Structure 1
Amino acid sequence: MEFEIRTDKSPQGRKKLHAERAAYFDLVSHGVGFREAARIVGVGYRTTKRWRNGEQRKYEPGAAARLPMRQRSYRASLSSRFLSEADRIFIADSLRAKWSLRRIARELGRPASTISREVARNAHPRSGDYRPYAAHDRAMSRLPRPKRGKIAGNPELREFIQRRLEIRWSPEQIANALRREFPDRPEMRVSHETIYLALYVQGRGELRRELHKELRTGRARRKNRKQAQQRQPRYRDPMVMISERPAEAADRAVPGHWEGDLIIGRNGKSAIATLVERASRYTMLVHLPEDRGALTVSAALVRVMHTLPATLRRSLTWDQGSEMGKHRALTLATGMPVYFCDPASPWQRGSNENTNGLLRQYFPKGTDLTQHTPETLELVAHELNTRPRKTLHWHTPAQRLASLLEDSAVAA
């Protein structure tokens, strides 16, 4: 040790015992008993007890709190996310000195919420006293991983999630459904991120391994999204740009404004046209069994649009793909003006882009899309239109479209 053990045990008044205190805690950390460590260091047991549990001081009414017994220049290391044992000793000293949690946080260089949670979680369960060593033991006991996940420990919750993954609900849709169906059962609630982790981290063993294939992407791990390809304008007839589209289409206040695009199959030789109504996100799929040329696409869209009432044929927004080369003929046949997005601006058809991403779960890239019949496309569209959507406050597109049409009829 770097100090001499005192042989004279007579009182010496107030004295900073920094070296003795450090040696005492070193002995305790190596398994020496509290009383034996105090005897070796040459300090009274009651003094070492105050070191362990915090400095108890008496204050005169109205007097300012004095600093705790440790050095004034104390700063905790910020290299770790977690509070250290020394941090907890400092917290205990400061609480005994009647410091506020914010003042303690400033001294430690931590957020006040960190100190508040520490005191609330790790104080003695019965007395409410904050004892640093016991608090440190409680905190360390909660750290070991892996822990059994909430989904693994609740068969009812696991079955609920798996059933909806099997019908291609997204984790966020499932998490919201849990909150709605079990409002008074906290054990039946998990976040969508918890569901993703149960799928991505297979070591957790909480959900069936193959269920990741039911996600939109079908991936077993996260992957950054790629940017959409840019297309150049190639039309003979002049385009009407999206900047000229009426305001009622932009604010989604009135039904009947559609966004459209193609999803392309293997080697670019097959395609399906997708139409999404902006106000309700109602989806229609157009069968293109022969090719995706301008004449074929225009004729197919005219055929589908004629199945809709006039109130649902207000406008169509498309990108600048070659398949829309006959846009003027489409407008003349349906009475729907066609508006074009700016180059490389897929977000201007955000609803359609999102829907195409959902459809890739049913029609993966690189597959032959001609094998899907009109009946198959109708079933897929029905499944999307009866699925709750976050952007619709968890109503389905079919419900929202029916509500909008009803409101329009009442207003008329």
Structure 2
Amino acid sequence: MGLTNREASRRVGVHERTGREWRNGRTDPKRRRAPAQQEQEPAPSATRYLREDERIHIADRLREKASVRTIAAELGRSPSTISREIRRNGMPLRGDRSRWAYRPHAAQRRADARRPRPMPGTIGHNAELRDFIQAHLTMRWSPEQICHALRRRFPDRPEMHVVHETIYQALYVQGRGELRRELARALRTGRARRKPHRQAASRQPRFSHPMVMISDRPAEVEDRAVPGHWEGDLIIGKDGASAIGTLVERATRYVMLVHLPLGRSAEDVSTALQTTIQPLPRHLAKSLTWDQGSEMAAHHAFTVATDIPVYFCNPGSPWQRGSNENTNGLLRQYFPKGTDLSVHTREDLDAVAAELNARPRKTLGWDTPAQRLAALSTSAAPPGAGR
């Protein structure tokens, strides 16, 4: 409650010296004992910062010689939080730095004085860093790709190194002005704030010819060690009237886009897939994994024509085509939802695919998909690999 020792002693009806002994945890069996009270420990805090009642609890327990870990457990805090609080907001006792005291109300005042924000950010202080980030956001690079590019470009300049969260904060946090707000539209989501993912609606099988499910897919597909296994899907345009097919190779993350100028019927999709995949060497076209969309009703005809088996995901399980789902999100930067996709030519799709394939990828050790696929294409193909 912040009472002085004299006032607290007066209220409970004991001498000031006895009150001081009680406060310090010393008891004498010949003297009157401290009244038994049901002490209320502070409830674990859900807030980031320590409250004043928590600081009072820390001070009381320190006088009782409780350990930092014990105090932290009582408050539901990390031991490092308590240790840091004592170190930052304690003070020398009567000017003697060999003796340390922790006064909760003084600690609260110090913490309040230290808290004003926002502090100037790293990006706002460094014009060269800001220009580099803005230029690559304009090129639709992700913040994580930009951070690794900075470390490769400036290995000996730590002032040019940031983590991707710093870039997000420079875009999202109001009032900083470190990066232009309109650059948020260049992010994959195009949003100026983060939103939780929604659950995808489940889809039902629609085919007369039996499907081969993903559970029957060869084991070599799972670990991505063997190239030539693709994931596919459609991105749909305005009112469902247009579409673009997307293909992603699982080992290299190489992207190919399927032009569908005549529509997305099962026959149109099957024919367009054959046209897109046919030029690949045999060792780079071994299987295709798709969801249970009606556009794959002619999957058997596709397999007969190309000798490429098609495996189907379980209903409502987009994570079983994780690489393709990720790529479709990237493609929405070029082909926004609610737009007419039929206006894009074969050349437009090739240009977009080339730009995606030239981006460094974290999962590839910051190589590009084009580099990985080129290495596979120029290497010796196994016997009988040609079509």
Q: TM-score range by the shorter chain?
A: 0.7 to 0.9
Per the alignment, residue 350 of structure 1 pairs with 322
Equivalent position amino acid for 2:80 in 1:
S
Residue 335 and residue 136 in structure 1: after superposition, are their counterparts in 2 closer, same or farther (change >3 A)?
Answer: same
Per the alignment, residue 143 of structure 1 pairs with 115
1:169 to 110, 124, 141: 141
Per the alignment, residue 47 of structure 1 pairs with none
Per the alignment, residue 306 of structure 1 pairs with 278
Residue 4 and residue 240 in structure 1: after superposition, are their counterparts in 2 closer, same or farther (change >3 A)?
Answer: closer
Per the alignment, residue 31 of structure 2 pairs with none
Q: 1:364 Cα deviation (Å)?
A: 0.5
State the secondary structure of the residue aligned to 2:330. Answer: helix
Equivalent position amino acid for 2:146 in 1:
I
Aligned mates of 1:166, 1:238 — CA distance in 2: 46
2:225 to 219, 236, 253: 253
Per the alignment, residue 187 of structure 2 pairs with 215
Per the alignment, residue 117 of structure 1 pairs with 84
Q: Count how many residue pairs are aligned between Structure 1 and Structure 2.
A: 359
Aligned mates of 1:333, 1:116 — CA distance in 2: 69
Aligned mates of 2:353, 2:236 — CA distance in 1: 17
* Within-5 A mapping of 1:188-199: 188-199=160-171
Aligned mates of 1:128, 1:357 — CA distance in 2: 59
Aligned mates of 1:285, 1:307 — CA distance in 2: 14
**Higher deviation after alignment, 189-198 or 380-389:** 189-198
Equivalent position amino acid for 2:326 in 1:
N
Q: In 1, are the aligned partners of 2:41 and 2:57 still within 8 Å (CA)?
A: no
Q: Does structure 1 residue 389 correspond to structure 2 residue 361?
A: yes
Per the alignment, residue 43 of structure 1 pairs with none
State the secondary structure of the residue aligned to 2:372. Answer: helix
**Higher deviation after alignment, 102-111 or 380-389:** 102-111
**For structure 1, which runs of at least 5 residues remain unmatched after alignment?**
7-11, 22-54, 58-70
Q: In 2, are the aligned partners of 1:119 and 1:130 still within 8 Å (CA)?
A: no
Q: In 1, are the aligned partners of 2:292 and 2:313 still within 8 Å (CA)?
A: yes
Output the TM-score relative to the length of structure 1. 0.75
Aligned mates of 2:214, 2:8 — CA distance in 1: 86
Q: Which has the larger radius of gyration?
A: 1
Q: In 2, are the aligned partners of 1:313 and 1:335 still within 8 Å (CA)?
A: no
Per the alignment, residue 35 of structure 1 pairs with none
Give the superposed CA RMSD: 3.6
Q: 1:239 Cα deviation (Å)?
A: 1.7
**For structure 2, which runs of at least 5 residues remain unmatched after alignment?**
10-14, 27-36
Equivalent position amino acid for 1:116 in 2:
S
Residues 363-404 of structure 1: per-residue CA shift (max 9 Å, x gap): 011111111111111111111111122322332222333445
Q: In 1, are the aligned partners of 2:283 and 2:382 still within 8 Å (CA)?
A: no
**Higher deviation after alignment, 199-208 or 363-372:** 199-208
Per the alignment, residue 318 of structure 1 pairs with 290
Per the alignment, residue 83 of structure 1 pairs with 50
State the secondary structure of the residue aligned to 1:151. Answer: helix
Q: In 1, are the aligned partners of 2:245 and 2:257 still within 8 Å (CA)?
A: yes
Q: 1:91 Cα deviation (Å)?
A: 5.3
Q: In 2, are the aligned partners of 1:76 and 1:109 still within 8 Å (CA)?
A: no
State the secondary structure of the residue aligned to 1:105. Answer: helix
Per the alignment, residue 203 of structure 1 pairs with 175
Residues 3-33 of structure 1: per-residue CA shift (max 9 Å, x gap): 7899xxxxx99532499x9xxxxxxxxxxxx
Residues 250-308 of structure 1: per-residue CA shift (max 9 Å, x gap): 22110001111111111211111110001111100011112111222111111111111
Q: Does structure 1 residue 16 correspond to structure 2 residue 9?
A: no
Q: In 1, are the aligned partners of 2:8 and 2:19 still within 8 Å (CA)?
A: no
Aligned mates of 1:254, 1:246 — CA distance in 2: 11
Aligned mates of 1:119, 1:183 — CA distance in 2: 38
State the secondary structure of the residue aligned to 1:231. Answer: coil
Q: In 2, are the aligned partners of 1:89 and 1:132 still within 8 Å (CA)?
A: no
Residue 122 and residue 320 in structure 1: after superposition, are their counterparts in 2 closer, same or farther (change >3 A)?
Answer: same
Equivalent position amino acid for 1:255 in 2:
P
Percent same amino acid at aligned positions? 64
Equivalent position amino acid for 1:156 in 2:
E
Residue 118 and residue 337 in structure 1: after superposition, are their counterparts in 2 closer, same or farther (change >3 A)?
Answer: same
Residue 332 and residue 92 in structure 1: after superposition, are their counterparts in 2 closer, same or farther (change >3 A)?
Answer: same
State the secondary structure of the residue aligned to 1:352. Answer: helix
Equivalent position amino acid for 1:271 in 2:
A
